[in-house]
Structure 1
Amino acid sequence: MNSGGPRFVADVGGTNIRLALIENGRIAKIEKYLCADFDSIASAIQHFQQNNVETSFSAGCIAIACPVNDDMVKMTNHTWAFSKLALKQTLGLEHLFVINDFTAVAHSLPTLNHNQVIQIGQGSAKENGNIAVFGPGTGLGVEHLTHTGNAWHTLDGEGGHVDFAPTDPSDLIVWNYLYKKYGRASAEEVLSGRGIVNIYTALCLHDGEIPHLTEPSDVTKAGLDSSDIYAEKAIHQFCRVMGSFAGNLALNLCTKGGIFIGGGVTSHLGEFFINSEFRSRFEAKGDFAHYVKDIPTYLINEPDHGLLGALAFLTQQTQRINEDE
């Protein structure tokens, strides 16, 4: 990629788009817009360009919360839809990369330092060891990262939709509730915003109580301030299930590089999560407790990790293209 023109990265969610310039290999001049204020992603990027650079961008990387495998990209939680090829032409770019938002999260992980994560429990990361990241939010995002040759590669999948594996009596209460309601219990129906509500509802109904909280934020708030005993039990169980799930990811791919946790739900739990039984459940793998006990677990504490991941991906692709030329 020989062009010396300005480059940008973008992190696009259902509500906001965050854009940044790349200056001296780092993100700079971050701006955040409401997606609803623009008719298209092209107009949002053009607005950012007009505010920050005098010439057209030469390249960019967009991390976006929706499938990106085809040329046509249609957002799941917003009205924007675009052709990658047409957007590249509209913006006059030499190179455009469009990646899933969780792919960007994964690519950010090797670049984070100890100030950008909070380690939970023991363990130390092995350089270039396999990494897993998951994030309970509206859904449950999961991604794996492996290092081959001189580059990091994501291993895509739908890890949020694996079967929910109960490991204690409270888990079984939740599993039974979900099975009766849906005919199947998936991890996402437990480890997400609605998952917290599902846990709360299941625990209430099991004791013959009427659940009166219906929003994830209400359950979380009532649990954190101990104003509702079932909400408090629900967030305790949520943290335990996260530990078991994280331990399964560690076993699946020998994640010596660490397990990272993102997502809005976990960040709202804050210190409660850090002090929870997450790590003890992570290590509760019976005869294979020794296998996971030295694998570190981290809570992502960097608000710009989506942009950092888009930058890491763009940088890696830049190096590959230059090597090929």
Structure 2
Amino acid sequence: MKLALVGDIGGTNARFALWRAERLESVQVLATADFATPELAIEHYLVGLDLGAEALGAVCLAVAGPVGGEHFRFTNNHWHIERSAFCRSLGLPAGGLLLVNDFTAMALGMTRLRPHERLQVCPGVAEPGCPAVVIGPGTGLGVGALLPLGGGRWQALPGEGGHVDLPIGNPREAALWQALFAQLGHVRAEDALSGNGLLQLYRAFCSVDGHDPVLASPAAVTAAALAGDTLASAVLEQFCVWLGRVAGNNVLTLGARGGVYIVGGVVPRFAGFFQTSGFCRGLADKGCMSGYLDGIPVWLVTAEYPGLEGAGVALQQALEERPELH
């Protein structure tokens, strides 16, 4: 078949690569603000490789949001896509564009990890044939599931698990929840377990413990914690424990004895702290069901382009189902 192109598009950056022989080639990151449309960004990417749009046979883009229907509007940048016009612009066959939810791509990307692209957080052995949880604090909190279908095929189940209620496990967490509620009203998991959530959590600590907040960004909270600041360290520790509680809830809901993958841009910034934190304790703190969590492995993903890899997996599976695109 002709070349295929995959993309992982966020609010600020669009990552593009060629997908050939089930591998990524020529990864490039472009600023979405530099291009009026995704078609123009793709054309620019191809020109840099001395390729024309006619070289493409299919395109798969991982995007934030629901992907049904003819039109897709990005929620975090100015781009939008009309499927038929997109295909005409790039000379693709009808139906040559596959859009997938960004966390669908992220989950599928877990099937492509190499050993050096993940760090063990909680020891254990994944049970074959069982679902896995993929959870990622970033700009928000992404949560999804990865289901093995057999024969080397996979299905990702995206959802809105970042918007579940933030769980309370002890009186201290109840006090912090009350402080968050005073700031926000309804308290979602994402309100504590995201980049901005880390700052919200710091302010909650200050409110409960009677401190004046002096740190003004998530990066400042993380830097202070890693430098040994007592308050910031307690905030980051609570972040890890709460992430464990939410991940553990998902394991129980899904029967996800296939393991837990921690993804996203936040946690790798303090990977060493995270590996020795109370995350595993929070994961397994499930009362009479705590034993169910024993032996479930957890990995922190450090791969550079898991979303692009997952877009490639999604495209590969679609191509196998649609031979007319070959």
What is the TM-score with the length of structure 1 in the denominator?
A: 0.94
Question: What is the letter of the counterpart of residue 69 of structure 2?
Answer: D
Q: What corresponds to 1:225 in structure 2?
A: 227
CA deviation profile, 1:12-46 (whole Å, cap 9, x unmatched): 11111111112222001111111111111000111
Amino acid at match of 2:174: L
Instruction: Find the counterpart in structure 2 of residue 89 from structure 1.
Output: 88
The residue aligned with 1:51 is 48
Instruction: Deviation per CA, 1:256-280: give whole Å up to 9, x if none.
Output: 2211111111111121111111112
Q: Distance in 2 between matches of 1:149 and 1:224?
A: 43
* 1:41 to 2:38 alignment: yes
Aligned to 1:237: 238
- Aligned residue for 2:299, secondary structure, equals strand
User: Could you tell which deviates more after superposition, 182-191 or 297-306?
Assistant: 182-191
Conserved? CA contact 1:129–1:255, under 8 Å: yes
Residue 322 and residue 44 in structure 1: after superposition, are their counterparts in 2 closer, same or farther (change >3 A)?
A: same
Which residue identity does 1:14 align to in structure 2? G
Trace 1:177-192 onto structure 2 (pairs within 5 A): 177-192=179-194
Q: In the alignment, is the contact (CA less than 8 A) between 1:170 and 1:237 conserved in 2?
A: no
Report what 1:284 is aligned to: 285
Conservation of the 8 A alpha-carbon contact between 1:134 and 1:142: yes
Work out the CA distance in 1 between the residues paired with 2:215 and 2:309: 36
CA distance in 1: counterparts of 2:79 and 2:16, whole angstroms: 16
Give the conservation status (yes or no) of the 8 Å contact 1:19–1:32.
yes
Q: What's the CA shift string for 1:93-117, capped at 9, x where partnerless?
A: 1211011211100111122232221
Name the SS of the counterpart of 2:178 in structure 1: helix
Shift of 1:250: 0.8
Structure 2 unaligned blocks of 5 or more: none
| Pairing 1:14–2:11 present | yes
- Match in the other structure for 1:194: 196
1:266 equivalent in alignment to 2:267: yes
After TM superposition, the score normalised by the length of structure 2 is 0.93
Hey, what's the Cα distance between the residues in 1 that align with 2:266 and 2:304? Answer: 14
Higher mean displacement: 81-90 or 12-21: 81-90
Q: Which moved more, 1:265-274 or 1:60-69?
A: 60-69
| Equivalent pair of 1:49/1:57 in contact (CA under 8 Å) | no
Alignment: residue pair count: 321
How far apart are residue 149 of structure 1 and its match?
A: 5.5
Separation in 2, partners of 1:265, 1:152: 26
Identity of aligned residues (%): 36
Q: 1:157 aligns with which of 159, 170, 179?
A: 159
Whichever residue aligns with residue 34 of structure 1, its letter is A
Does the CA-based 8 Å contact 1:174-1:198 persist in structure 2? no
Q: Does the CA contact (< 8 Å) of 1:84 and 1:98 recur in 2?
A: no
1:171 aligns with: 173
- 98-107 vs 218-227, greater mean Cα deviation: 218-227
Alignment gaps of 5+ in structure 1: none
How far did 1:320 drift? 1.3
Q: CA offset at residue 141 of structure 1?
A: 0.7
Q: 2: CA distance between counterparts of 1:38 and 1:133?
A: 31
**Structure 1 CA distance for aligned equivalents of residues 173 and 68 of structure 2:** 35
Matched AA of 2:31: L
